[in-house]
Structure 1
Amino acid sequence: MNEVSLIQICDTTFSESEVDAAKAIVFDAINQRSVPRKGELKKRRCLQDIIKVLKETDPESLPSFVAKDLHRLPPVTFDHVDATALLKDILILKQDVSTIKCDYARESAVSEVCADLAELRIQLKQLQQATQPATGPSLKGKRHKKSKVNSTSKTVNNLKLQVIEKTVSAHDAFLATVPSLQSTSVARTDRELTTVSQEERVLSSTLLGDNFDSTSASNDSYRTVVNKKKHRKQQKRAPNQRGVAKLTSNTIKIAPRLSYIYASRFHENTTEQDITNFISESGYTVQKVEKLSQFKKTSFNSFKITVLQEQEVVFLNNNFWPSGVEYRKYRYYRGPTVIS
């Protein structure tokens, strides 16, 4: 339910005194000051304040509110329900269900693949047992071993093609059960069959020997990508340095370093000349005294005083200014940007 509908229901159901009492309870619970409302739309504004506080405040810091008189609660019918949001949720659920049906394989296909793998494991064990050399101390045993290997070589070669054909057919049969997979589902299915692909490569490399190229028979190999881009080191700027030699030439002059002091709370009749005279009587010189214009009309004057930087410590000492004068270093105010 949106905020407008909620305010309309509460406005027509509860009185103004009840809304004020509820607002006071909510603001007391979070220790905030309640802003009083006046006018014809007082009740609506109070309801807006309550909803705003409930939205912006952490739920853990609010107490649990329950309805005391259930018969006072307004009925929630289809007129107050957002049917568009419900229809959108139903459409999203339908899309998710259809995606699940397309992405997941059937149980029969998975069982067939498991059965083929079990059969391949049995045949692999038989081949390993058949190709293992027989141990014996006598030369007769060695000859018997050599003849046994030669007799089983034809059987091994015949079983090589059978194992590879069954592996490829099992993989193709599994993919044929889900022909409408999208790119994301195909990638996920390949990751799920990683163990199957690894077993296929082990079987093929064991049966075909060293001449078998595993990369050409399967596309499941991964390559590590290394970023060879060199990061440039940020060069540190060299700090400014100051000279210490005495000036002996008359052709150049060194600009003095200035400091700016803000002094305020002077009488409204005080002028720039009065401030200059006061500083001169104190035994110090001033570069410039400027009266500041106030944004709002006040009963006192403020000044911006420009002095030499080596005299800044003197003008920022509380023993220099008379009692009641406020001072500090001058801060430049950046006003609002005006777009023409």
Structure 2
Amino acid sequence: MTLSCEDCGEYSSRVRLCQGDMHLCNGCNKKRFGGSKEDGGSERSRITNSGVVINELLCFIVNKMDVLTTDMLVKLCCDQFSDGEVEYAKRTVFELCCNDPGRLIKRQGQNKRFNNMMDMVKLLHEVDNEDLPCFVAKDLAKLPPIDTTHIDVSTLMVELKSLRREVAQMKDIAVRPEVTDFANELGLLRKEISAVKSCVDGLKKPEKVHVESDVISQVARYELPAVCEPLDFHCSLNKDPHTSSYADVVQSRAPAVKAKRPSQSDRLPTKASKNLSVNREEEFTVVSRRSKRRPPPVIGTAKFSEESTIKAVRSHPPFKFFITRFAPTTTPEAIISFIKNRCQVIVKCEQLKTKYDTYASFLIETTREFADKIRDPAIWPTGILVRRYY
């Protein structure tokens, strides 16, 4: 971008923003403010013939801004570089990467170094990697040291995920031959199993060996071992065809027993067995419970005068009803008169205390023989509630 020098009027690309917010060329800038070590010499001394920019601060920022956080990067650079080095690097990066000279703001105050660093980092993040110049460091001792506390954990996680992905791919490549061999062996085993099944289907199943009942009865008298191998009545594939039958095994375990059919006398119970059973029955006594009948209750029939000291309870105890939902002006006399006219029954009536004054409730007392008449809903007006009082 070409600008005009405010002193000599030169219009060229060498005119840049200098101290005092003035656009001056290199010559006018040296006349006004003089040269300094922080300026780094002329334009040719900062940029080599191959376009490489020698600046340790910019080299560190470009290479670490994707690894470290912005706050950590700015803090490291502010602790390592001076105000003049930061301002010089800021002018350089704005001249090479920014076409808007109005964005180059000269910071003042105590946070001048921090604000200049933030301006540089923000600009470098906006520029594409292809358009960034090549920044190199001549003195590596000027670069800030970085330890494990300055490393971004998110970057490590990304690298760890990529490493795991590569290891998984290597495992797949190493395991593939073994999986192929296993699949081939499995196929061969399946073929062999199918061939064995076809051979088994072609063989004739041997008949079951029937054992005589008398031999089993003789063997039952002898105690066999606690643990013995199960005897199979069917011939298996692995069994030798010349093995002995179940009868042979029985005879070998009981050699002294002769297969003799029990006679009729053996089957019938003997006299000794009968006597034994009778003696056993005599040893026990059968206990039988007899039901005890209780005598019937006694009810008195004697009649005494009313002045007697003892009296019986009335045979007809009182039967009480609770009736409610009457008008508040209803009286007990009206209830007694109503029941007498409708049921021809004389009752006792008592008005109860209600929770609200919007209705009236009563307690009526009669005998059990008249309870069904009073319980009849046909004698009461619609909406009246009648139930037994407990």
Q: TM-score, normalised by structure 1?
A: 0.30
Q: TM-score, normalised by structure 2?
A: 0.27
Q: Which has the higher contact order (CA 8 A, sep 6+)?
A: 1
Q: Which of the two has higher C-alpha Rg? A: 2
User: 1 or 2, which has the higher helix percentage?
Assistant: 1
